[in-house]
Structure 1
């Protein structure tokens, strides 16, 4: 008779152990990047539902033009963008921002189709982004000519604890362009984040244009450093472009990074749980 309760006890202990193993094998999304934006390109990182990301993006003048007189470009503010992004769900966010250059107001949204997870069943992350830009600076042209749109498919992968890679086919459209410029622009953006420690990460991004690009423009390139401090992510970078919106980076990058035409800039990201 003593054998029966012993068998029942062993069976219950085995069941509890199996339940504990199942809890330990919970599948979670992988954190690929530290913020929703790499430097100017959007990443596959998403805000949790109910969280608000406040962004300040700042770019200065060319650092190598009269560097002493212009204090390496810091005396020449080129463009400032203030933005808000809100997570409607863990997979879908919406945002609004305003850039000081041309007083462009942008409305944007991003949705996660797939998120890389810890068990490897989803090996990559894929997100879709859409952006509507509106020039609000007085220019006496029809409203339709003030409109630009941008769409992209963002594909990323956490290769290792140190290396993250991203590829972003992107398309930009402008309702009105100057003579010789193109209404339709296509690029395949490239980006990477290389973690140096728990607080510091190296990052880079590139905009190689596909097909025709606007006259006197060059493929944009940026290098930067991520600094993570609690709820803040500071991003210090050198970039050829003064723009913080992808469609304008594709259309109006005049400088060449590797010939010394780069400018200093910084982004500040602060996430609030609401």
Structure 2
């Protein structure tokens, strides 16, 4: 009888020890940090790049459209829809979960652009890294015939993107941006700086309000206004549709900064849309 009681006591102590160990392991698993995703849903907010990245071995196909000024001869031009101002077709591929490369072509000036984006840091759930930081570079080449050397048709843009998803509903980003034109029209070489700002308010799993602003720091080019855009994202399966009103006809950062002569709040806005579709390779 004594051996039997001792045996049961040993078994009971072992069960208690195993249960305690499992509970400790569960607590350790809960404490593992994970990256915070879906701050903006797409690699491009409206015209600004975001800290969202395309997963490795995935391809993002984008179609970007902008139309004429909605308030100019609104009835005869059907609120600008009769005037397709600019179309950009683009492909971006995730080489890793942090690094992507892309190429696109805009109908305006027939600009071909090559870009890349890399995630330096990613916001995590334990707040050890409170923000996401990405670096994006873009090389643009005007391919429209203009009887000037190819070197004069080159422009670049570089942004350091800081973003934070403050809650399930609200995300904010700022992106110091540098743009350079080897030759801008008849003005010659130009260096421009801007401090982009963007935000997203997630209304539900399918809808989100977006806005972005591109104040140029320092000297503007003649006639240039700070670009502003206001939009709505609609997520449907593998597609994200972006509908927006914007002051700029461009979808490339350096041209948004250098070539926006419209003032959104004065009523000089146009309708546009982006379509994003992810394909697994």
Give the TM-score normalised by structure 1. 0.97
Residue 6 of structure 1: aligned partner? 12
Aligned residue for 2:277, secondary structure, equals strand
Residue 191 of structure 1: aligned partner? 198
Aligned residue for 1:269, secondary structure, equals strand
User: Greater CA radius of gyration, 1 or 2?
Assistant: 2
Q: Does 1:242 align with 2:249?
A: yes
Once the two structures are TM-superposed, the CA of residue 183 in structure 1 deviates from its matched residue by: 0.8
Alignment gaps of 5+ in structure 1: none
Residue 172 of structure 2: aligned partner? 165
Q: Does 1:105 align with 2:93?
A: no
Aligned residue for 2:183, secondary structure, equals coil
Q: Residues of 1 paired with 2:89 and 2:77: CA distance?
A: 24
Residue 262 of structure 1: aligned partner? 269
Once the two structures are TM-superposed, the CA of residue 21 in structure 1 deviates from its matched residue by: 2.9
Once the two structures are TM-superposed, the CA of residue 181 in structure 1 deviates from its matched residue by: 6.6
**Dislocated runs of 4+, deviation >4 Å:** none
Q: Residues of 2 paired with 1:37 and 1:273: CA distance?
A: 19
CA displacement, residues 173-205 of structure 1 (integer Å, 9 cap, x when unaligned): 001122347610100000000111111111000
Q: Residues of 2 paired with 1:197 and 1:262: CA distance?
A: 27
Contact 1:181 1:214 in 2 (8 A): no
Contact 2:62 2:89 in 1 (8 A): yes
Count of residues paired in the alignment: 274
Residue 226 of structure 2: aligned partner? 219
Q: Does 1:37 align with 2:44?
A: yes
Once the two structures are TM-superposed, the CA of residue 156 in structure 1 deviates from its matched residue by: 0.5
Alignment gaps of 5+ in structure 2: 1-5
Q: Residues of 2 paired with 1:17 and 1:189: CA distance?
A: 47
Q: Does 1:115 align with 2:122?
A: yes
Aligned residue for 1:120, secondary structure, equals coil
- Superposed CA RMSD: 1.1
Residue 58 of structure 1: aligned partner? 65
Q: Residues of 2 paired with 1:27 and 1:273: CA distance?
A: 26
Q: Does 1:28 align with 2:38?
A: no
* Residue from 16, 25, 28 that aligns with 1:19: 25
